[in-house]
Structure 1
Amino acid sequence: MKLNLVALSIFNLFLVATLINASTETHNERKPYIVYMGDVPAAGISAVNEHQNLLRTAIGDAKLAKESKVHSYKKSFSGFVARLLPHEAKRLSEEEGVVSVFPNTRCKLHTTRTWDFLGLSETLQQKNSKRESDIIVGILDTGIWVKSPSFNDKGYGPPPAKWKGKCFTGANFTGCNNKVVGARYYHLEKEIDPRMDEPSPVDTDGHGTHTSSTASGASVKGASLYGIAQGTARGGLPSARVAMYKVCWEDGCNDMDLLAAFDDAILDGVDLISVSIGGPSRSFFDDPIAIGSFHAMKKGILTSCSAGNEGPHPGTVQNVAPWILTVAASSIDRHLVTAVKLGNGMETSGISINTFSPKKILYPLTSGALAANGSGQGYGNASACDYATLSMNKVKGKIVYCLGSGSQDYTIKELGGAGTIVTLDEPTDTAFTTLIPGAFIGSKDGSKIDHYIDSTKNPQAVIYKTRSVKMAAPFVASFSARGPQVISINILKPDISAPGIDVLAAYSQLVSITGQPMDKRVAPFNIISGTSMACPHAAAASGYVKSFHPDWSPAAIKSALMTTATPMEIKAEDAELGSGSGQINPLRARHPGLIYDISLNDYVRFFCKEGYNSTSIGLLLGGKKRFNCSSFKPAQGTDGLNYPSMHTQVKNKNSSISAVFYRTVTHVGYGKSVYKAIITSAKGLSIRVVPNTLIFSKPRETMSFKVVVKGGVMKKGNHILSALLEWRDYKHSVKSPILVYRPGQSVG
């Protein structure tokens, strides 16, 4: 998900408006519902006819049923979208053959240095180009700007023979090439509301172009944003192909469009899918991303998803299905700083992306408090430079100091100001692009600037263009969503972290770099932040591992990334709830030594343990309507799944700690190997591994073990205890975090 303060504010207004509208709707208004029916029907059965018959039964009128249907999913899974009344939706949910019925909702959108920082040099990528060229990365996003230099197809042969996708055309989009091999768009709501945007795969937002190039952009030398963060821009899989599935528009990303994209992408022949989109957590069978990615997993396709931008609050992580690779945002060792100098010689630096170089040595400086219009027309705070509180005569041509929330540059630009210096209430690790020269600074320096303005007859200042500096890394971004998750509470999410702060990648030139109409700056590259940017990094790392191990399952690839991740700098209150297993390390993940694999039957046992309906599970497996959980060996242990991490939430604050995790590892090294278990644990935990030595005599051999976790009642004020299990042989280090969480914190 792209992090953008203005966009978040707009989304909040949109959400309020939606809720107001919903409260005034009549009970009899037909709304789009998604009817999910599991796997595709057996050969010889028409999914479309089956959908229509169900709909006719629920509505009771054949003509109205036909008019009400919007779309059928019939390629990779079965289901349909229809405009229904609430009682019709309920009736359908009770029909045999229906897994779930849920209303269509809108989700939201959640480089030159990142791959070097992750150890994947351009030289290594070039050596792997032949393998990569057969990989196709499916991106579900806002579309793509094919004219970007990152998608130049010079030197590319035709798409791999497995590719069966399509390239749609439309406004500002004339076709694909041998780099961008496919481009589809989905706007099913246009069937309901013809006033929607003109259909086209083109990217008028920039987000989809940015994520696509982060995953698979070709190498472009001399890339930068107006000279900032200059270097060679390249994706993690620079030789791979891209297939864009445009599902997001100005009004958001509809569930029904997301499902339609998954339905196509799985059959089109993509090798992995990247989805930087999300919304509040829902039951897996009511979540379009969980549904689509499950069917992708069945076909050997791993789906990487953004964890969300609602951090640092606990319980905010999204896209939590265990077959999804859920990605948090972390930093790289490049920091973007903007220097500020006052007329008295004081110098400080703030965080921003300021593309402007000063045209004067110093500019007049004032504060929002001194520039107040005094009319009383504004409803905000003049000291914070809120809209309609300032006088143009007092602002024009001056740099304005504001107490801040982060969006004052819009107001100051409108009034003719020369720049903004904003004091943020809380420190930030994320830079935002300003409409005019601007810097966000800490409160301590802000107080000094405020004092200088009030005590000086002619205060002056200058804001310099942003520059890059080195910093310690990696650490978890403050905005990155945290666990614990609220659906399957004993599965640790997020899974892993990847760069998501100040990422430079390709951008659409149909939109300004801030997305604001008053901003006239367009550029082939842009710097933005969010778990949206982290997600395609992890997707590319998955593809990199897959290029060496094309026969590995999605779970095996996911395990390789998780168990070889780089440890993170984490805060005690977050622990692995913020970082997952750590930051991706693609080079180490090529040869992880051991993997935790998960089969389809393992997921079935997991569903049974989680209490999902047997009929629904049967439909997922391909129409086995009489499936019985008792026919499967029960899932063992606290979490019931062979997951690379281990997590338990204790029942309540007065409960002692007791958990058992059963795991099976597969030896993917060469020849014989002996692994010994090493436990690093927080005080208050007792952890035993049985057996604590694993002896493998040949590759692909499997061995099982259990991890017994014990402890007393957690101390007051302490809600997390962490440990680490490391299996080590002469060459490999296979790490699994162990996390105990005590409820009672504010979650969700």
Structure 2
Amino acid sequence: MSLKAKRKSNKESDIIVGLLDTGISMACPSFNDKGYGPPPSRWKAKCDTGVNFTGCNNKVIGAKYFKLDRMDPLVRLPSPADYQGHGTHTASTLAGAPVEGASLFNIGKGTVRGGVPSARIAMYKVCWDSGCNEMDLLAGFDEAIADGVDFLSVSIGGVPRSFFVDPIAIGSFHAMKRGILTSCSAGNKGPSLMSIQNVAPWILTVAASGTDKQFATPFALGNGKNATGLSINTFTPKKKMYPLLNGALGANATGYKYGNYSSCDYGTLDPNKVKGRIVYCLGADFIDQDSIIAETGATGFIMGLSKKPVMSYTTIIAATFVDAFTVGKNINDYINSTKNPQAVIYKTKRVRVPAPFVASFSSRGPQVTSRNILKPDITAPGLNILAGFSKLASLTGYDEDDRHENFNIISGTSMACPHVAAAATYVKSFHPDWSPAAIKSALMTTATPMLIKEDEAELGYGSGQVNPTRAVNPGLVYDMGMSSYLGFLCKQGYNSSDIGLLLGNKRFNCSNIKILPGADGLNYPTMYFHLLNANSRISAVFCRTVRNVGYGNSTYNARLTLPKGLTAEVIPNTMKFTHVHQKQSFKVVVNGPPMSNGTYILSALLEWNDSKHSVRTPIVVFRSMDQSH
């Protein structure tokens, strides 16, 4: 959000955002409580203490840790302290206080602040070196709900499973019952289709996008040629040039027994050949090669990747990543054409690039748990995010890395998730009475269309890039409560006993629940239909109800943007409202012939417009590419 965005700071300071993560570092300047009054009077939760954690303050008003198996050898001393940096980074992204002149060794220098800098933070440490235990996750959810947080940000993924065995789906359902919206990361398994995680419809699932700021690392060759790769290189070269060689020239006599020396695999390089030199390596993708290469005594490396790099990694020695087939080929040709090849890697600089775009690592839909709900829901910045960090962790996570800083640059859908949690908090500061579904709808229907299109389209970015300031005044919202989700679960085929267990109500019966007609049975802000049979005709009906949260007397007209091969009708195509909070229902009938073999996704758009508001609802049809899907 812009620094100039209209805010209600007094309302923000009464909102408590909870995070389930790896803990928090109170030493990070993002959590300075100067100027903050006491916590909201309704907040009664305690603050755990422990090794490297002495207590909370008026900014971080809650910090608890959960570890069922305290004998786990990978558990450090029980404490809310953050030994990985992940939780500190997400918490400061969500609600960190402004810090002027923040940077990572002067890289990306500027004012760092959270999306809602006045909000209070409560950290629930459920993840340790050994991972995130399901029982700890559920305990964290229960505690956060009981403590009275207003939102939950959960940058944790996992294998998609049934809603009744997925701890995040279960925990977020109970949060929804208490009026708490849970924002979750979509996962980092992209660009593969069907890699999306955290797909329950009551969760706000967040994909990661790139901003117009990229961290690039220039380098020069001894032949006078200059080029640029991507990385977070904090090191300034001490010499004008360094000797350069590739993995083949640096291989030891038996290196081929251990792996691919061209890729600089573990055990393939001879320290006597590479010490003090820059090594050019080939990699299908980035693996943790920097620690392997650093062990050999190399002063730096250039990694040629099979795909053009889009993400900047923080490396333990000077390094940069390039496209192997263009820049990398030129480097190899130079090495093989001279007796004394040389190179130098410079410190990283920030450059501008076209944006927004979906990060390649961001998981894509479609989901397979509930096939007719589009996921992800929305996209937010998650690429190269500078935010707070814990000095208890090294910048790279390697024990041999001696750099311990208050800020770090990290990428992932974990970084996108708190951006959207912050946007939801911002909307709530203007509309404290809105339900989780209404806030979610406002964010989704006002999202900015992605300018840089990809084949996966909405399967990669959902409704588009989050736009918090527009979401404050969305005009119309698709609202729903627990009964709507129960009807959805019944329509999905879950039996009354399973749903009753989720509710804690043994007498629950689906026959007593109203089930919304239509393809998805839910009043969702997007419309999605999954064709299981590739030869089937397209035929779907979506039933929706909207509530007027704009102007009392207003008329909305429907406008459809349709691709070739798809027809649709909105009934009715005009809705007239006479007062605020009035509800109107409509349906969208979508038809089309079987999709051709070369097409697996059709994207359309429904827009309700009253000349003051544009309420956007993507309509997506996906065809399984083979019968196994």
Whether 2:20 is the aligned partner of 1:135: answer: no
- Relative to structure 1, is the Cα distance of residues 477 and 415 closer, same or farther in structure 2, using a 3 angstrom cutoff? same
Give the structure 1 partner of residue 341 of structure 2. Answer: 459
Q: Is the 8 A contact 1:316 1:747 kept in 2?
A: no
Q: Which residue of 2 aligns with 1:589?
A: 471
Shift of 1:124: 3.0
Counterpart position of 2:611: 730
CA distance in 1, matches of 2:255, 2:44: 63
Which of 607, 624, 639 is residue 489 of structure 2 equivalent to? 607
Is 1:418 aligned to 2:296, yes or no? Answer: no
Deviations 1:347-393 (A, max 9, x none): 11001000011111111111111111113474111111111111112
Q: Distance in 2 between matches of 1:149 and 1:738?
A: 44
The one of 248, 262, 266 aligned to 2:127? 248
Contact 2:216/2:231 (CA < 8 Å) preserved in 1? yes
CA contact (8 A) 2:189 2:361 kept: yes
Q: Please show how residues 216-255 of structure 1 align to structure 2 within 5 Å.
A: 216-255=95-134
What residue number does 2:160 align with?
A: 281
Shift of 1:338: 0.6
SS of residue matched to 1:286:
coil
* Aligned residue number for residue 651 of structure 1: 532
Q: Are 1:537 and 2:419 counterparts?
A: yes
* Contact 1:315–1:746 (Cα < 8 Å) also in 2: no
Alignment of 1:85-484 (within 5 A): 120-124=1-5, 127-190=7-70, 193=72, 196-376=75-255, 378-404=257-283, 405-406=285-286, 407-443=288-324, 444-484=326-366
3-state SS in 2 of match to 1:617: helix
Contact 2:74 2:130 in 1 (8 A): no
Check whether the contact 1:211–1:536 (CA below 8 A) recurs between aligned residues: yes
Alpha-carbon contact 1:314-1:746 (below 8 Å) kept = no
Distance (Å, rounded) in 2 between the aligned partners of 1:581 and 1:274: 19
Shift of the 256–746 alpha-carbon distance from structure 1 to 2, 3 Å rule, reads: farther
In the TM superposition, residue 564 of structure 1 has moved relative to its aligned partner by 0.3
CA deviation string 1:196-246 (max 9, x = no partner): 431100000000000000000000000011111111000001011000000
> Which of the residues 590, 598, 603 maps onto 1:709?
590
Shift of 1:533: 0.2
Distance, in Å, in 2 between the alignment partners of 1:658 and 1:461 is: 60
Q: Secondary structure at the match of 2:171?
A: helix
1:95 matched residue in structure 2: none
* Structure 2 letter corresponding to 1:640: G
Q: Which residue of 2 aligns with 1:633?
A: 514
C-alpha contact (below 8 Å) 2:495/2:510 kept by paired residues = no
Please tell me the residue identity of whatever aligns with 1:139. Answer: L
Q: Distance in 2 between matches of 1:390 and 1:627?
A: 64
How far apart, CA to CA, are the structure 1 residues paired with 2:322 and 2:515? 56
- Once the two structures are superposed, residues 151-178 of structure 1 have per-residue CA deviations (whole angstroms, 9 ceiling, x without a partner) of 0000111100111211000010010000
Aligned equivalents of 2:73 and 2:262: distance in 1? 44
Question: Conserved in 2, the CA contact under 8 Å of 1:657 and 1:713?
Answer: yes
Residues in 2 aligned to 1:627 and 1:123: alpha-carbon distance in whole angstroms: 49
Note the C-alpha offset of 1:631: 2.4
Deviation of 1:313 after TM superposition, in Å, equals: 0.5
SS across alignment from 1:278: coil
Which of these residues, 552, 568, 581, is aligned with residue 450 of structure 2?
A: 568
1:566 deviates by 0.7
Tell me by how many angstroms 1:632 deviates.
2.6
1:118-157 CA-partner distances (Å, limit 9, x unpaired): xx222436x4321110010000000000111000000111
The residue that corresponds to 2:572 in the other structure is 691
Structure 2: which amino acid aligns with 1:638?
A
Q: C-alpha separation between the residues in 2 aligned to 1:640 and 1:660? A: 10
Q: Which moved more, 1:613-622 or 1:235-244?
A: 613-622
Q: In structure 2, how many angstroms separate the alpha carbons of the residues matched to 1:483 and 1:588?
A: 26
**Conserved in 2, the CA contact under 8 Å of 1:495 and 1:562?**
yes
Letter in 2 for 1:241: R
Rounded to whole Å, the distance in 2 between the matches of 1:676 and 1:721 is: 23
Unaligned runs of 5+ in 2: none
- The 1-side partners of 2:624 and 2:580 are apart by 42
Deviations for 1:693-737, whole angstroms, at most 9, x for unmatched residues? Answer: 011111000000000000001001211001000001121000010
Residue 164 of structure 2 aligns to a residue whose secondary structure is helix
Measure, in 2, the Cα distance between the counterparts of 1:411 and 1:297.
46
> Aligned pair in 2 of structure 1 residues 737, 167: CA closer, same or farther (>3 Å)?
same
Superposed CA RMSD? 1.4
Q: Distance in 2 between matches of 1:594 and 1:377?
A: 64
In structure 2, distance between residues paired with 1:452 and 1:300: 62
2-structure distance, mates of 1:572, 1:183: 41
Corresponding residue number in structure 1 for 2:435 = 553
What's the TM-score once normalised by structure 2's chain length? 0.97
Letter in 2 for 1:172: N
Task: Give structure 1 stretches of 5+ with no counterpart.
Answer: 1-119
Letter in 2 for 1:300: G
SS at match of 1:707: strand
Write the distance in 2 (CA, Å) between the matches of 1:628 and 1:201: 41
SS in structure 2 of the partner of residue 284 of structure 1: coil
**Which letter maps to 2:109?**
Q
Q: For residue 621 of structure 1, report the CA deviation from its aligned partner.
A: 4.2
Distance 2:269 2:479 in 1: 61
Partner of 1:740: 621
SS in 2 for 1:535: helix
Q: Which amino acid aligns with 1:132?
A: E
Read off the aligned partner of 1:707 and give its amino acid letter: V
Deviation at residue 189 of structure 1 after TM alignment? 1.6
Residue 747 of structure 1 and its aligned partner are, at CA, apart by 8.3
The size of the alignment, in residue pairs, is 626
Q: Report the CA distance shift for 1:519/1:193 in structure 2 as closer, same or farther (over 3 A).
A: closer
CA contact (8 A) 2:356 2:452 kept: no
Partner of 1:38: none
Which deviates more from structure 2 when the two are superposed, residues 307-316 or residues 406-415?
406-415
Name the amino acid aligned to 1:229: G
Q: Distance in 1 between matches of 2:223 and 2:353?
A: 29
TM-score under structure 1 length normalisation? 0.82
How far residue 619 of structure 1 moved from its aligned partner, in angstroms, is 4.4
* 1:511 alignment partner, one of 362, 377, 393: 393
Please give the per-residue CA displacement for 1:89-143, whole angstroms capped at 9, x wherever unaligned: xxxxxxxxxxxxxxxxxxxxxxxxxxxxxxx222436x43211100100000000
Q: State the SS of the aligned residue for 2:603.
A: strand
Distance of aligned partners of 1:702 and 1:280 in 2 relative to their CA distance in 1, 3 Å threshold: same
CA distance in 1 between counterparts of 2:495 and 2:579 reads 40
Q: Is the 8 A contact 2:534 2:626 kept in 1?
A: no
> Over residues 279-311 of structure 1, what are the superposed CA-to-partner deviations in whole Å (9 max), with x where a residue is unaligned?
111111111111111111111100000000001
**1:689, 1:613 → 2: CA distance?**
33
Give SS of 1:435's match: coil
Distance in 2, matches of 1:410 and 1:282, equals: 35
Greater helix content: 1
